Structure 1
Amino acid sequence: MTANLSQTLTLLLIEDDDGDAFLVEELLNQAQAPPRIFRARNLREAKEQLTPQIQCVLVDLSLPDASRLEALEEVLALAPHTAVLVLTGLRDVHVGVAAVQSGAQDYLVKGDVDARLLARSIRYAMERKRADLAQLKLVQAELTAQENARLESALLPGPLLRSSAIEHVTRYLPGSGGTLAGDFFDTVQTPDGSVHMVIGDVCGHGPDEAALGVALRIAWRTLVLAGQPDDTLLRTLDTLLRAERKAPEIFTTLCTATISPDLSHATMRVVGHPPPLLVRDGEVRVVTETPSGPPLGIFADAEWAVIDVPLGTEWSMMLYTDGLIEAAVGEPSRLLGVEGLLDLVREHGAIDLDRLISHVGTLSDDLAVVMVRRCIT
């Protein structure tokens, strides 16, 4: 009966016995589409032939340079994404069972093999390996999602606001890679009625950068609640960044704003960060064209100038990370940029985060936005 291997496969047979190897090759040649078979007589030769083109490995556990399961462990380490089928002697059935428990997809007893059984075992081994890899990816994705959710809740907390005179809206979208970055924001109202805000962006992507963003966000909130002045706060954050970062080239941009208790004035520091937008008396503009100073983590003796921003009685303000202005928009796609962002706000007549984000196409980076508006009663 013709063996059922309906597509041409590339196999590696690791077998030191020429007679056994000849038998396996003859059985495989009876398949509908005989596979390409590479032969290795020992583990050393197998290492040289285990290329990504190999779709299934048939390995004898009695090799001259590896004892029993040692050969399997080496093969699994060298080809973690390849199906492995173990060949055993009649007296070594228990070793075959142990091999499956150690990671092989199946085992065959040499004396009981025919063409149909061998073809079916290879096909099933490949399907089991494919299912195992799919399950592993699913588990990894679930773990990543859980970790991202945990970090995101720490990066993007709820505001500590007591005043109903302030409307506070936030949005966050992950970049196209799906990996959480170090964007963070926070808003705290202190007992004197002042509203303190921060938005920041740790350069890079991944759990280390996200964790660093969490540390900086929590430190900022702690320092604000402790009543520390802005200059001390920024120097402390700079020191913390240098102590906690994994590499000396990692820096952080951020923007801080403190709105006075009567909500008519703000002081800001733009620390190497994109300039905030302000809508005041119907006019849309950037708060400043010139940043207060460089990002955190660049210069040890950096200083950051204060930007005074009169707000008046009716206003709204938007702080954002560079993922927004670096987003692709339009056909053909182009970067939004600060001028494009200003045009969108002018077109809408107000800062509407959902309408703004609806214009955004592919994100190359995480996008975080905070909008505050004085509520006129």
Structure 2
Amino acid sequence: MSVPVPRQRDALTAPARPPVPLPDGGLTLLVIEDDPVCSVTFPEMLDTDGNRLRIRTARNLTEAARLLTDDVQCILLDLALPKHANAVGGGGKASEEGSADALDTLRQVLRLAPSHAVLALTAEGDAERAAEAVRVGAQDYLFRDELDGRILSRAIRYAVERKRADLAQRQLSESRLRAQENARLERGLLPTPLLGGSDLRFAARYRPGRSRALLGGDFYDTVRTPDGTVHAMIGDVCGHGPDEAALGVELRIAWRALTFAGLCGDQLLSTLQQVLEHERADDEIFATLCTVDISPDGRRAGLCLAGHPSPLVVRSGRPPQVLPYEGGGPALGLLPNARWPRRQVELGGAWSLMMYTDGLIEGRVGQGSKQRLGQEGMVEIVARQLASGLRGESLLDATVTEVRTLNGGELTDDLAVLLLDRG
């Protein structure tokens, strides 16, 4: 013989109240049913750990929403719930449309509790609707006439474990899909160098400072124009949020378009400043930039600096050095009528040119240390790697790895490094 479940109401008009707290552990079942005469009844049950199964009852979805706290693991929904009990906040008024589709009620419960296991309760003669409830999203169904403690206890445990497995599988699928989408997005946002016909070798490394971010405010690009000139650019939008990352992409795309249109030096940077002023979310936002245009014979370059660190150059038979900053202009977006002079740099026959953002040089030189690596520290690292015979991709990998190691882990600022080699 079954024992009636304790009700969370003294009368039909009394508001629903949470049950008396029970000892920690065990499962909590929320029963949603409306019939005060033929109430769903269960024997007292214990879960697999010997804890008493806690049961709450709700007459409608409004009460269910109130009782659906974090400690509820499973919901038992009576598919015979009348229409007036279906809508959350419905006030208990009967609808002129008559009985609602029970599966609509189930769908509302699934929307209300997307992470909870749901069991459908129905009459034995309604097996087709019970099976349809599982297709809609319930973990299992039970027949009212066959309900007993053993069947219910097993069904609850099965439903909870199945829901956990479903959620884990969904999270895994979403994670894989997100990784694929992120990879496609990253390929679309990070540039593909256009160096067809050039004898220069290109390498780049990029690390956003924000956790789990695809892009930061740093940006770079390299293209070769029809006259044989190779143009390279690297920049940094102040800040680390998604708005700054989006602005960096806009500036990079604008730079590529303007470069192919024939703009260079001060004219190009003045136009980019106009783009930044129109696109930035805040008047305080600015961007630093370094542009280089390498002559078709590869022996000389024009350099423009807009508040950005000077590139590092390694010429044949000479140690690496940072090019002088003299003649550089302000960052884009700071002064309305600024100018950015273009300076000529002799490279020679064989050389390497490394352009970088300040994320590479602002790391610490020891965990807990306040001292920054700086340009001098960067030059020492590159000189060591060159002396060990590293070049190109390997040189960048070793340099970034050593900078991170000195910092004691991941760098907090965005980092971009671009390397061009000749000879």
TM-score, L = length of structure 1 = 0.79
Secondary structure at 1:257 match in 2 = strand
Question: Structure 1: how far apart are the matches of 2:283 and 2:74?
Answer: 45
Listed as ranges, the matches of 1:166-205 within 5 Å are 166-173=200-207, 177-182=211-216, 183-201=218-236, 204=240
Task: Indicate if the aligned counterparts of 1:30 and 1:115 stay in contact, CA closer than 8 A.
Answer: no
Distance across 2 between alignment mates of 1:74 and 1:163: 63
Question: Which residue matches 2:65?
Answer: 47
Q: Distance in 1 between matches of 2:279 and 2:76?
A: 48
Displacement of 1:318 after TM fit? 1.5
C-alpha distance in structure 2 between counterparts of 1:225 and 1:17, whole Å: 76
Q: State the partner residue of 1:97.
A: 131
Q: What's the counterpart of residue 65 of structure 1? A: 85
Number of equivalent positions: 364
SS of residue in 2 equivalent to 1:306: coil
Pair 1:373-2:416 in alignment: no
In structure 2, the CA distance between the partners of 1:152 and 1:47, relative to structure 1 (3 Å rule), is same
Structure 2 residue aligned with 1:356? 399
Q: Report the alpha carbon displacement of residue 362 of structure 1 after superposing the two structures with TM.
A: 1.8
Find the aligned partners of 2:122 and 2:138 in 1 and give their Cα distance: 12
Three-state SS of the structure 1 residue aligned to 2:121 is strand
Larger radius of gyration: 2
Q: CA deviation at 1:193?
A: 3.1
Residue 341 of structure 1 corresponds to which residue in structure 2? Answer: 378
The answer to whether the 8 A contact 2:327-2:343 is kept is no
Q: Does 1:8 align with 2:26?
A: yes
Deviations 1:101-150 (A, max 9, x none): 22222222222222222222222222222222223223322332222222
**Which sections of structure 2, spanning at least 5 residues, go unmatched?**
1-24, 87-99
* Matching residue of 2:313: 278
Q: Calculate percent identity across the aligned residue pairs.
A: 45
Question: Deviation per CA, 1:252-310, whole angstroms, max 9, x where unpaired?
Answer: 55432212334344333344545433345314226538963234xx4693635235252
Which secondary structure state, in structure 2, belongs to the residue aligned with residue 368 of structure 1? strand
Cα displacement (A) at 1:157: 0.7
Distance 1:59 1:161, change over 3 A: same
| DSSP-derived class of the 2:353 partner | strand
Q: Does 2:263 align with 1:263?
A: no
- Tell me how far apart the structure 2 counterparts of residues 233 and 69 of structure 1 sit (CA, whole Å): 63
**Superposition map of 1:1-377 within 5 A:** 8-18=26-36, 23-24=41-42, 26-29=43-46, 32-61=50-79, 62-63=81-82, 64-66=84-86, 67=100, 68-154=102-188, 155-164=190-199, 166-173=200-207, 177-182=211-216, 183-201=218-236, 204=240, 213-238=248-273, 240=275, 253-280=288-315, 281-285=318-322, 287-288=324-325, 292-295=329-332, 298=333, 301=336, 303-306=338-341, 308=343, 310-313=345-348, 315-325=351-361, 330-332=366-368, 337-339=373-375, 340-349=377-386, 352-359=395-402, 360=404, 361-364=409-412, 367-375=415-423
Code of the residue aligned with 1:317 in structure 2: it is L
The one-letter amino acid of 1:81's match is S
Deviations 1:192-229 (Å, cap 9, x if unpaired)? 332200224565456x8766655543443232222123
- Give the letter aligned to residue 136 of structure 1: R
Distance 2:269 2:121 in 1: 65
Cα contact 1:197–1:257 (8 A) shared by 2: yes
Offset of residue 249 of structure 1: 7.6
User: Which SS does the other structure have where 2:227 is aligned?
Assistant: coil
Name the CA distance, whole Å, in 2 between partners of 1:42 and 1:139.
34
Measure how far apart 1:331 and its partner are. 4.0
Instruction: For residue 85 of structure 1, report the CA deviation from its aligned partner.
Output: 2.0
Gaps of 5+ in 1: 1-6
Q: Distance in 2 between matches of 1:159 and 1:48?
A: 60
What is the distance in 2 between the residues matched to 1:122 and 1:222? Answer: 62
Is residue 44–residue 53 contact of structure 2 (8 Å, CA) maintained in 1? no
Contact 1:160 1:187 in 2 (8 A): yes
CA RMSD of aligned residues (A): 3.6
Q: Which whole-Å CA distance do the structure 2 matches of 1:20 and 1:329 have between them?
A: 74
> Structure 1 residues 260-269 or 150-159, which shifts more?
260-269
Alpha-carbon shift at residue 356 of structure 1 (Å): 0.9
Tell me which protein shows more strand as a share of its residues: 1
How does the TM-score come out when normalised to structure 2?
0.71
| Shift, 1:170, TM fit | 1.8
* Aligned partner of residue 85 in structure 1, secondary structure: strand
Query: Aligned-pair distance for 1:369?
Result: 1.8
Task: State the alpha-carbon separation in 2 of the partners of residues 160 and 178 from structure 1.
Answer: 31
How many angstroms does 1:353 deviate by? 0.8
Between 1 and 2, higher relative CO (CA 8 Å, sep ≥ 6) is seen in 1
